[in-house]
Structure 1
Amino acid sequence: MQKEVLDDKKYNKLIVALSIIIPVAVAILFGVKIDVELPVFLPPIYAGINALTAFVLVMAFVAIQKKKIKLHERLIKFAIALSVLFLLMYIAYHMTSDSTKFGGEGITKYLYYFILITHILLSILVIPFVLITYVRAITNNIEKHKKIAKITFPLWLYVAITGVVVFIMISPYYV
């Protein structure tokens, strides 16, 4: 039985809105400081979430290569949930703690900032890609879904992996 292809255009306004609102809200909340001490140190936790997200994305890729569509779907939903959880923890940490300065020197410093800047820029860029890819899947526009997923997957994977790398590189400088 062939599923009906639904119109994914009705989601465009929501995708555009979320793609703007999320980074703007993060930027605004980044400037808000709350005098609360969190019961846990969040950076290793959200770095772990990034690592798990990368693993789940690779598992989702393997699942779809093996034509395990339901497993792929569940894994992608889990990856999205992990990304949302990461974002919430990231915001909570930066609202309650001062930013840590990287203390490395020389080429390490330039490498760190290259990874950090590309991580931040691509984490903003990947939002509409993830949303569009997801919408094309749930509306059964599978050919369009496959086309954009070929872009979304490496972007999202890069963001997840570099989130871990950034944490590892800056972790010696946490106070």
Structure 2
Amino acid sequence: MSNEVISSEEKKYKRFITIVSIVIPIAVAALFGIKIPNVAPLSFLPPIYASINAITAILLIAAVMAIKKGNRKLHEQLNTAAIICSALFLVMYVAYHMTSNSTAFGGEGMIKYVYYFILITHILLSIVIIPFVLITFMRARLGNFPQHKKIAKITFPLWLYVAVTGVVVYLMIAPYYV
């Protein structure tokens, strides 16, 4: 594929990535303010979406191991599955918060600061990671492997951090769910 074709296709993808990277955080923030009346709280969801975060972390580690062994097809499949898991997490997370009140962290002292540090970095990086994941995926799909590899070195640790801290946040707040 010529550079002109890649450049043209990349421009289309980048427009889409920019829109998605802006719309998702705004939509999630807006949906937090909406409570669906007369609907039973979806209180069963937090352990499920925390588990999905754990699965995402495992998929990401397995994807890196696959590419290090030269298995590009498996690497692609594992990363696609990780993207699907992240999307499922997001849908369940929003659904839970649209039907349930937020749970306050009940820990005190130093653990409270640790919890809020992890939570805040998790939230901020979950916003930042959206364009990184999409650009990394796009570059691989377009066959631009040198640029894919370059950004993947940034994307992987950030995405892994978001997935792992999602589980940690759940485990820390789980005792305070009503």
Q: Which band: TM-score by shorter chain?
A: over 0.9
CA–CA distance in structure 1, aligned partners of residues 90 and 43 of structure 2: 16
Aligned match of 1:128 in 104, 128, 131? 131
Give 1:114's aligned residue.
117
1:11 corresponding residue in structure 2: 13
Which runs of at least 4 in structure 1 moved beyond 3 Å after TM superposition? none
- Larger mean CA deviation between 132-141 and 37-46 belongs to 37-46
Contact 2:129 2:159 in 1 (8 A): yes
1:123-166: CA deviations, max 9, x gaps? 00000000000000000110000000000000000000000000
CA distance in 2 between partners of 1:52 and 1:39 (Å): 21
Q: Which runs of 5+ in 1 are unaligned?
A: none
Report the TM-score, using the length of structure 1 for normalisation: 0.96
Which has the higher mean CA deviation after the structures are superposed, 127-136 or 29-38? 29-38
Moved more, 3-12 or 79-88: 3-12
Matched, 1:146 2:149: yes
- Deviation sequence 1:113-132 (CA, Å, 0-9, x none): 00000000000000000000
Distance in 1 between the 2:35 and 2:75 partners? 39
Partner of residue 60 from structure 1, selected from 39, 63, 86: 63
Q: Which residue of 2 aligns with 1:103?
A: 106
Which letter maps to 2:68? Q
Q: 1:82 aligns with which of 76, 80, 85?
A: 85
Distance 1:90 1:108 in 2: 24
The alignment's C-alpha RMSD in Å is 1.2
Deviation at 1:9, TM superposition (A): 2.4
Q: CA deviation at 1:40?
A: 5.7
Q: Which runs of 5+ in 2 are unaligned?
A: none
Of residues 25, 29, 34 in structure 2, which corresponds to 1:32? 34
Higher relative contact order (CA 8 A, sep 6+): 1
Percentage of pairs with the same residue: 65
TM-score if structure 2 supplies the norm length? 0.94
Instruction: Tell me how far apart the structure 2 counterparts of residues 133 and 9 of structure 1 sit (CA, whole Å).
Output: 14
- The amino acid across from 2:72 in the alignment is I
Count of aligned residue pairs for this structure pair: 173
Cα offset for 1:4?
5.8
Q: Aligned runs of 1:160-175 on 2, under 5 Å? A: 160-175=163-178
